[in-house]
Amino acid sequence: MKWFGPVGWPLTLCEVDFRKGGRFRFAMTGSSGVQNTPFGGEYLEIVPNRKIVFDNAFEAPGAEKMIMTVTLEEKDGRTTLTLHTLFASIAMKKSHLAAGFVDGTGSGFDQLAGVVAALKAG
């Protein structure tokens, strides 16, 4: 996958069964060369070309799950992608924000924009 995650943290584990009830499992590896703890979840809802809802948690004892909703809205030939994250607790939210969740997610979306631009250019 060419766009997922922060720059410098490529996916080194990527398993996807993209269907309602299907599961995904990812892990990223940074510059140290050590793969981070895998994370993943289940696809809870898929509305083609409109919405994807899934849960997501690290593979660690007692790890809390967040619910993530991706919506796609097309207007005037452009698509807006919106990501909404519902954390299981305030502590989980604070932990993820402190670890760079917003910047890392933004970096992934910036890379996705680059992939889309390259596809458009042919």
Which domains, and CATH codes, for the chain? 11-121 (3.30.530.20)
Q: Collect the ranges in the chain with pLDDT lower than 50.
A: none
Which residues are CB-neighbours of 65 under 8 A, at least 6 positions away? 41, 55, 56, 57, 88
Q: What pLDDT, on the 0 to 100 scale, is given for residue 32?
A: 94
Q: In degrees to the nearest 10, what's the CA dihedral of 105, 89, 92, 45?
A: -40
Q: Which tokens is 75 given?
A: 């207007």
Q: What pLDDT, on the 0 to 100 scale, is given for residue 5?
A: 84
Q: What pLDDT, on the 0 to 100 scale, is given for residue 108?
A: 92
At 42-77, the pLDDT tens digits run 999 999 999 999 999 999 999 999 999 999 999 998
Q: Give me the DSSP letters along 62-86.
A: TPPPEEEEEEEEEETTEEEEEEEEE
Q: What pLDDT, on the 0 to 100 scale, is given for residue 53?
A: 98
Q: What pLDDT, on the 0 to 100 scale, is given for residue 70?
A: 98
Q: What pLDDT, on the 0 to 100 scale, is given for residue 2?
A: 79
Q: What pLDDT, on the 0 to 100 scale, is given for residue 3?
A: 87
Q: What pLDDT, on the 0 to 100 scale, is given for residue 122?
A: 85
Q: What pLDDT, on the 0 to 100 scale, is given for residue 24?
A: 98
Summarize the chain as % helix, strand, coil (round to 5). Answer: 25, 40, 35
